[in-house]
Structure 1
Amino acid sequence: MSLLRAKIQDVFNEPGCEKNRGKDAKARKVGCSKPLTPGAAAGGCAFDGAKIVLQPITDVAHLVHGPLACEGNSWDNRGAASSGPTLWRTSFTTDLTELDVVMGQGERKLFKAIREIKEAYGPPAIFVYPTCVTALIGDDIEAVCQRAAEKFGVAVVPVNAPGFVGSKNLGNKLAGEALLEHVIGTAEPDDPGPYDINILGEFNLSGEFWLVKPLLDRLGIRVRACIPGDARYFDIACAHRARAAMVVCSTALINLARKMDERWDIPFFEGSFYGITDTSDALRNIAELLVKQGADPEILGRTEVLIAEEEAIAWKKLAAYRPRLAGKRVLLNTGGVKSWSVVHALMEIGIEIVGTSVKKSTVEDKERIKQILKDDNHIFEQMAARELYAMLSERKADIMLSGGRTQFIALKAKTPWLDINQERQHPYAGYDGMVELVRQIDLAIQNPIWCQVREPAPWDCQPAVREELPRTKSETVTLHAVQEFSGTTAADFGEC
């Protein structure tokens, strides 16, 4: 427990974070998040954050050491995609019960589970995640992992991030520490080159990174390791031989990027692949970093040629949507890198941003938003559900982009909604991803269902008063018979 406490304090002291550097020693020890409420940490604890960062490593077995519910809480909670192995989709847990805790069987059960996974699946590595229960009863996870690795000849990585130690963001950083301590630098690549890079904080949601990687391939740039999206254990073990790195989500793995720079001289920058301009800037920054690290300067020229070609194609495709979306108002209820990169991307095609959340954004992210919007009134830290509903029901926005948690607020307000978070079904990164994002926004806004649901319901319409024409005797008899049978009167036969 003392070792875990030392790791947590080390993560709190993060020189790569501008906000952290501005704190005094006392404030830095508290960390970056509010204390968790006991019993209310589901989906937002350190264990969940660590699992989010590491589970997309596709050929690794992820073993949760704790009660069954902990594995159910975090399994497959992001829409990351794999181009090959599917082992990461298999759920492994020691499934501790009350009897195991009382009888002290936790460590024995963990060792047995590691052996069974090795014999049944033969993965290159097994990641072990302790939970609140196993950390509190004092199971020595690191000792068990070390013994199992020696016994079975497989890498067994302890990810020391039990849920009670802090927030999901802290868990992200503790996962990076586990990679640094047990994985990165443990293998050597056969063919290191001057154009090798790492991409950190990219989760390959809905296959987004597959829209960016072909651009890098055309430039002759090899992604040594994409951590964690569609990653392989061996690639991450060789990540220390990359020449440069790009950090996509700084709140998750900024500590990993900084320490890799310190240990192996891998400079990094923070960028985004959302939007045409940001994608082009990211490609330029990668090329410039590689040149500074010794690559041939001719890559700068090839990068500009590629950017010019791809931008021309993207803008040509977007031209059809400009008149349909010009002046449309978007409300963004998201955070992190999307809070500023998506804002910039949408404004490029003439869409107005009426508000964006910065709840999970860094200080640098917030400054970028202020520079883009030039109005602090459109920036909110957190907006209550009733305030979101009021804003949408008053038609202050034509569409809301958010995660699944707030989709029903938009639907109740009869406002178009598009998923922009990890559960989304469409990739939005790169040039093609930007075109897809605009297409989905257009489809959502122009969908004829919104005109229909906003009309008064038929039962709310007042019956129309119309002059009755003279009826024949047979028509009168038939009408009275129908009324007597159905219990209606002549006044009921109006129409909306």
Structure 2
Amino acid sequence: MSSLRAKIQDVFNEPACEQNRGKDARARKKGCSKPLTPGAAAGGCAFDGAKIVLQPITDVAHLIHAPLACEGNSWDNRGAASSGPTLWRTSFTTDLTELDVVMGQGERKLFKAIREIKEAYGPPAIFVYPTCVTALIGDDIEAVCKRAAEKFGLPVVPVNAPGFVGSKNLGNKLAGEALLEHVIGTVEPDDAGPYDINILGEFNLSGEFWLVKPLLDRLGIRVRACIPGDARYLDIASAHRARAAMMVCSTALINLARKMEQRWDIPFFEGSFYGITDTSEALRQISQLLVKKGADPEILGRTEALIAEEEPIAWKKLAAYRPRLEGKRVLLNTGGVKSWSVVHALMEIGIQIVGTSVKKSTVEDKDRIKQILKDDNHIFEQMAARELYAMLSECKADIMLSGGRTQFIALKAKTAWLDINQERQYPYAGYDGMVELVRQIDLAIHNPIWRQVREPAPWDCQPAVREELPSTKSETATLHAVQEFAGTTADDFGEC
């Protein structure tokens, strides 16, 4: 536990973070995220953050050493995609019971689970995750993993990030520490070259990275390791031989990028593949870093040629949507990197941002939003469901981009909605991804269903009274009785 405490303190003192350097010692200990609310850490604890970062390593067995509920359905908590192995989609847990805890059987049960996974699946590595329960009862995860690695002849990596130590963002960084300590640098590749790079913080949601990789392939740039999206264990183990790195839109793995630069002299920058301009700028910066590390300067010319070829094609496709979307108002209820990268991408085609959430965003993310929007009035820390509904029902936005948890607010307000979070079904990165994002926004806003649902329901409309009078006294009496019972008069009847 003392080693875990030292790691957490090291993460909070991250020197690569510009905002962190300006804090005093007391503020630095609090980190970038808000403290957790007791009893409300589900979906936002350190264990969840570590699992999110490491889960998309597709050929690794991810073993949760905890009671069954700790694993739950987190095996697929992000829409990451794989081009090959599917072992990562299998849930493994030691399923500790009260009896195991009382009798001290946790470590023995963990060792047995590692052996069963080795015999049944033969993975290149096994990642072991303790949670609050196993950390509190004092199971020595690192000792068990070390013994199992020696016994079974495969890497068994302890990911020491129990939920109670902090937020999801802290768990992201602790996952990076586990890779640094136990994985990266353990395999020497025999094909290292001057155009090898690492992509950090890219999850390949809905296959997004597959829209960017062909651009890099055309430039002759090889992705040595994409961490973690569609990654393989051996790729990450040999990632220390890359010449440059790009951190995709997130400071979650900034400690990993900084320490790889310190240990193996791999320079990095933070960029985004969302939007036409940001994609082009990211390609330029990758090429410039490679040239600084000894690559042939001719790659700079090839990069500009590629950009000159791809940008006009993308802008031509977007031109068809501009007359339909220019001036449309978008409300972003998301967080993290999407709170600024998507904002910049949408503003490129004339879409107005009426508000963006900065929940789960770091200080750096918030500063970028302020630079892009130049107005703090469109930034909100957290908006309650009632406030979101009021904003949408008053037609202050034409569409809301958010995650699945708030889609029903938009539907209740009869407002168009598009999933922008990890559950999304379409990739939005790169030139083609930007076109797809705009296409989906156009389809959502101009869907004819919204015109229909905004019309009054048939049962809310009173039927029109026929002009001719009732022909008999009995019919007249019946009509008066009905009107009196309903509290209406004949003048109240008419078209809706």
How would you bin the TM-score normalised by the shorter chain?
Answer: over 0.9
Q: What SS does the corresponding residue of 2:146 show, helix, strand or coil?
A: helix
Distance change (3 Å), C-alpha of 1:159 and 1:478 = same
- What displacement does 1:487 show? 18
Is the Cα–Cα contact under 8 Å of residues 65 and 110 in structure 1 kept in the other structure?
yes
Q: Distance in 2 between matches of 1:356 and 1:406?
A: 14
- What displacement does 1:494 show? 7.4
Paired residue total: 496
Is the Cα–Cα contact under 8 Å of residues 251 and 336 in structure 1 kept in the other structure?
no
Q: Distance in 1 between matches of 2:25 and 2:113?
A: 42
Q: Distance in 1 between matches of 2:405 and 2:430?
A: 26
TM-score by length of 1: 0.95
- What displacement does 1:26 show? 2.2
Deviations 1:125-164 (A, max 9, x none): 0000001110000000000000000000010000000011
* Greater displacement, 144-153 / 246-255: 246-255
- What displacement does 1:495 show? 6.5
Q: Distance in 1 between matches of 2:87 and 2:411?
A: 37
Deviations 1:419-469 (A, max 9, x none): 000010100000000000000000000011111111111111122133138
Is the Cα–Cα contact under 8 Å of residues 279 and 430 in structure 1 kept in the other structure?
yes
Is the Cα–Cα contact under 8 Å of residues 172 and 252 in structure 2 kept in the other structure?
yes
- What displacement does 1:386 show? 1.7
* Greater displacement, 364-373 / 180-189: 364-373
Flag structure 1 segments of 5+ consecutive residues without an equivalent: none
Q: What SS does the corresponding residue of 2:353 show, helix, strand or coil?
A: strand
Q: Distance in 2 between matches of 1:322 and 1:188?
A: 50
Flag structure 2 segments of 5+ consecutive residues without an equivalent: none
**C-alpha root-mean-square deviation of aligned residues, in Å?**
3.0
Q: Distance in 2 between matches of 1:20 and 1:476?
A: 82
Q: Distance in 1 between matches of 2:482 and 2:330?
A: 53
Distance change (3 Å), C-alpha of 1:133 and 1:493 = same
Q: What SS does the corresponding residue of 2:23 show, helix, strand or coil?
A: coil
Deviations 1:64-89 (A, max 9, x none): 00000011152210000000000000
- What displacement does 1:251 show? 2.7
Q: What SS does the corresponding residue of 1:251 show, helix, strand or coil?
A: coil
Q: Distance in 2 between matches of 1:37 and 1:485?
A: 54
Q: Distance in 2 between matches of 1:161 and 1:205?
A: 24
Q: Distance in 1 between matches of 2:379 and 2:35?
A: 24
Deviations 1:348-378 (A, max 9, x none): 1111111111222233322222222222211
Q: Distance in 2 between matches of 1:232 and 1:338?
A: 26
Deviations 1:363-421 (A, max 9, x none): 33222222222222111222222221111111010001011121111111111110000
Is the Cα–Cα contact under 8 Å of residues 184 and 240 in structure 1 kept in the other structure?
yes
Is the Cα–Cα contact under 8 Å of residues 198 and 239 in structure 2 kept in the other structure?
yes
Q: Distance in 2 between matches of 1:376 and 1:29?
A: 27
Is the Cα–Cα contact under 8 Å of residues 81 and 207 in structure 1 kept in the other structure?
yes
- What displacement does 1:335 show? 1.6
Q: Distance in 2 between matches of 1:372 and 1:439?
A: 23
Q: What SS does the corresponding residue of 1:30 show, helix, strand or coil?
A: coil
Is the Cα–Cα contact under 8 Å of residues 43 and 73 in structure 1 kept in the other structure?
no
- What displacement does 1:479 show? 14
Q: Distance in 2 between matches of 1:79 and 1:474?
A: 68
Distance change (3 Å), C-alpha of 1:387 and 1:470 = closer
* Greater displacement, 401-410 / 190-199: 401-410
- What displacement does 1:41 show? 1.2
- What displacement does 1:476 show? 13
Deviations 1:19-69 (A, max 9, x none): 211221222223333332333211111000000000000000000000000
Distance change (3 Å), C-alpha of 1:397 and 1:483 = closer
Residue equivalent to 1:114: 114
- What displacement does 1:260 show? 0.4
Distance change (3 Å), C-alpha of 1:421 and 1:379 = same
Q: Distance in 1 between matches of 2:272 and 2:484?
A: 71
Distance change (3 Å), C-alpha of 1:470 and 1:459 = closer
Residue equivalent to 2:423: 423
Is the Cα–Cα contact under 8 Å of residues 330 and 399 in structure 2 kept in the other structure?
yes
Q: What SS does the corresponding residue of 2:27 show, helix, strand or coil?
A: helix
